């Protein structure tokens, strides 16, 4: 059986030596994840082996299998952490500006200018290396994108309530949310992973966000346009 992911919930009840061992386990867990992340992004998921991951993390192969039952399990746990990071970045930026269209726009900027530019390897994992791997990985990928789409939908609902905006159709917000995630994924894949235009991604992302915000406003009822 693989070791469970390190848990911080019981730290208050542990001795100093136990706390030290737990910190070491957490550090080793993260070191393995980071090594695998780099290899998956640069060499590709299929080419990277557990032995290569162990070597890059400077641990034994047995240590890798202590935390992860196989390479698929490693990828899934990696996707969970990356998904949490991406959603946190966008959500934090949206909340900074309140439930407003400006906050919606700034969250879009954060996707390209913070997540994609600062974490290109993680973007590669989510948008390229997790695609078409296995039914289990695909299910976890679907769950992640469903959560992200739900975040966008909730943001649009909050904007609507806060700014007194009415959308034209029953499915307007849902269509926008699905479209936003599709555009984000495709633009990131095309310019970051295919064309490696990291230096231009800020300007490209701002064009994409302007396109999205224009589409969002086009679905406002005329009486509630701002």
**For the structural domain made of 71-224, what CATH number should be given?**
1.10.357.10
E runs forming strands in the chain: none
Between 6-10, 34-38, 73-77, 158-162, the lowest mean confidence (pLDDT) is in 6-10
Tell me how far apart the alpha carbons of residues 16 and 22 are, in angstroms, rounded to a whole number.
10
Percent of the chain whose pLDDT exceeds 90: 86
Say how many C-beta atoms besides its own lie within 10 A of residue 73's C-beta: 15
- The structural domains of the chain, with segments of one domain joined by +, span 11-67, 71-224
Say how many C-beta atoms besides its own lie within 10 A of residue 18's C-beta: 12
Tell me how far apart the alpha carbons of residues 75 and 48 are, in angstroms, rounded to a whole number.
11
pLDDT for the residue numbered 10: 56
- Torsion sign, CA atoms 147, 205, 221, 226: positive
In 43-97, which residue ranges form alpha helices assigned H by DSSP? 50-57, 61-67, 71-96
- Over residues 43-55, the pLDDT tens digits come to 999 999 999 999 9
- Over residues 62-87, the pLDDT tens digits come to 999 999 999 999 999 999 999 999 99
The reply to whether 71-224 shares the fold of 11-67 is: no
Q: Look up the pTM and report it.
A: 0.87
In this structure, what token pair is assigned to residue 66?
Answer: 């202590």
Residue 143 CA, chain-centre distance (Å), reads 12
CATH 1.10.10.60 fits 11-67, yes or no: yes
Say how many C-beta atoms besides its own lie within 10 A of residue 200's C-beta: 12
């Amino acid at each position: 059986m693989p070791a469970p992911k390190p848990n911080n919930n019981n730290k208050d009840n542990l001795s100093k030596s136990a706390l030290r061992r737990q910190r070491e386990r957490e550090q080793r867990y993260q070191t393995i994840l980071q090594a695998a992340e780099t290899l998956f992004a640069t060499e590709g998921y299929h080419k990277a082996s557990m032995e290569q991951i162990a070597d890059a993390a400077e641990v034994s192969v047995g240590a890798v299998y202590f935390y992860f039952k196989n390479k698929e399990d490693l990828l899934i746990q990696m996707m969970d952490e990356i998904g949490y990071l991406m959603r946190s970045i966008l959500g934090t930026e949206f909340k900074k500006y309140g439930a407003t269209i400006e906050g919606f726009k700034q969250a879009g900027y954060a996707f390209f200018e913070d997540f994609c530019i600062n974490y290109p390897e993680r973007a590669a994992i989510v948008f390229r290396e997790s695609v078409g791997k296995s039914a289990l990985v695909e299910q976890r990928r679907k769950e992640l994108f469903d959560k992200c789409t739900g975040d966008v939908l909730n943001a649009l609902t909050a904007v609507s309530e806060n700014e007194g905006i009415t959308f034209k159709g029953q499915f307007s917000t849902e269509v926008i949310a699905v479209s936003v995630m599709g555009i984000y994924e495709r633009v990131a894949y095309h310019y970051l992973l295919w064309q490696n235009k990291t230096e231009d991604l800020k300007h490209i992302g701002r064009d994409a966000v302007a396109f999205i915000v224009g589409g969002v406003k086009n679905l406002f009822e005329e009486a509630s346009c701002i």
